[in-house]
């Protein structure tokens, strides 16, 4: 595939779209941080689903942009067309925002894991408490006649 002006324009358009989707991913990650802090687990789960849809869109754009990017890189290395500042700048911006998204995602994963561990610990305590309550109920007959006679 020859990298020409039309390819350049299309690649720039695709990279701009990817950058915008990554910005939305970053915003989504920041909202997820807030949701975790507020224990809004259901809304957090919905947010994860929205994030997956953004990833699907990014993957779709990536399939087309990757072919054009390879053509661009080949053209630059073979001495065909020179480097295009707009493409290189978008590549750099995308890389930077991916690093930011990854950092937010890692932080959110750690927070979610800690909350999960905390919930598991609480459930174990409740289970132990339930066993303690069972000890008190052993002496109470499990029939309605007992309650009818006492009332």
Residues 108 and 48: beta-carbon distance below 8 Å:
no
Q: How confident is the model at residue 131 (pLDDT cuts 50, 70, 90)?
A: low
Mean pLDDT of the chain: 85
* C-beta atoms surrounding 10 within 10 Å: 14
Taking the whole predicted model, whether its pTM rises above 0.85 is answered as no
Six token digits for residue 42:
């259901």
Taking residues 100-127, what's their average pLDDT? 87
Which parts of the chain fold into alpha helices (H)? 5-37, 41-77, 85-137, 144-150
| CA 98 – CA 91 distance, rounded (Å) | 11
For 48-80, how does the pLDDT look when each residue is reduced to its tens digit (9 = 90+)?
Answer: 999 999 999 999 999 999 999 999 998 888 776
DSSP per-residue letters across 12-27? HHHHHHHHHHHHHHHH
User: Given a cut of 50, is residue 151 above it in pLDDT?
Assistant: no
Taking residues 13-41, what's their average pLDDT? 95
Q: How confident is the model at residue 132 (pLDDT cuts 50, 70, 90)?
A: low
The interaxial angle of helices 41-77 and 5-37, nearest 10 deg, is 160
Q: 61: helix, coil or strand?
A: helix
| CA 96 – CA 108 distance, rounded (Å) | 19
């Amino acid at each position: 595939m020859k990298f020409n002006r039309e390819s350049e324009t299309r690649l720039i358009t695709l990279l701009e779209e990817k950058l915008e989707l990554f910005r939305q991913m970053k915003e989504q990650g920041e909202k997820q941080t807030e949701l975790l802090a507020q224990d809004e687990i259901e809304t957090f789960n919905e947010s994860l689903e929205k994030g997956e849809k953004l990833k699907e869109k990014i993957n779709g754009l990536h399939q087309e942009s990757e072919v054009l990017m390879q053509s661009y890189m080949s053209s630059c290395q073979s001495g065909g067309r020179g480097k295009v500042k707009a493409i290189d700048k978008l590549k750099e911006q995308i890389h930077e925002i991916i690093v930011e998204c990854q950092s937010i995602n890692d932080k959110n994963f750690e927070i979610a894991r800690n909350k999960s561990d905390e919930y598991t610990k609480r459930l174990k305590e409740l289970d132990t408490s339930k066993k303690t309550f069972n000890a008190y109920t052993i002496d109470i007959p499990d029939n309605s006649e007992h309650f009818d006679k006492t009332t």
